[in-house]
Amino acid sequence: MMEIATAEKGRYAPVSGDIPLLSNLSVFRNIALIRQYHERLGAEESRRLTTEALERFGLCGIAEKRPFDLSERDLFLVKLLRAAQRKEALIVIERPFVQIAGLRSFEWIRKHLELLDFPGIDAIILDYEWNGERYGSDGA
């Protein structure tokens, strides 16, 4: 993973169990903070973009929750949305079936990656070889 981070320095956007959300911030603030920092967005524009992202994933109901109050699936989606806030992000999802223990196939993740639909975003999945069959036609 370090090789990818080094090679894609400005685009690298991890979704990993080893990289937590900021526990003292709400879901909304964890997502909004990325664009506020990298693009120096004002509060109003940041609020609008973050609200749009949460609506796209149907997560407005958890916007004020803290990370420790989230299910594994919601935590994963918030990390995915946070990663997608980088312009032309290379989202690197590390071991998704470890992050979401009850997940049986890649279909649920694929659906949410398709919901991102932001220009310039790419994604890489890093996983154990033995999980290959869970990816269906995407696994190779």
Render 26-43 in DSSP notation, one character per residue.
Answer: -HHHHHHHHHHHHH---H
Nearest to 8 by CA among 133, 122, 135: 122
Residues linked to residue 125 through DSSP beta bridges, in sequence order: 93
What's residue 78's pLDDT?
98
Per-residue pLDDT of 81-98, as tens digits, reads 999 998 889 999 999 999
Low-confidence ranges of the chain (pLDDT < 70): 1-9, 138-140
Alpha carbon distance 82, 27 (integer Å): 9
Nearest to 95 by CA among 10, 19, 12, 6: 19
* CA-based R_g, the chain, Å: 15
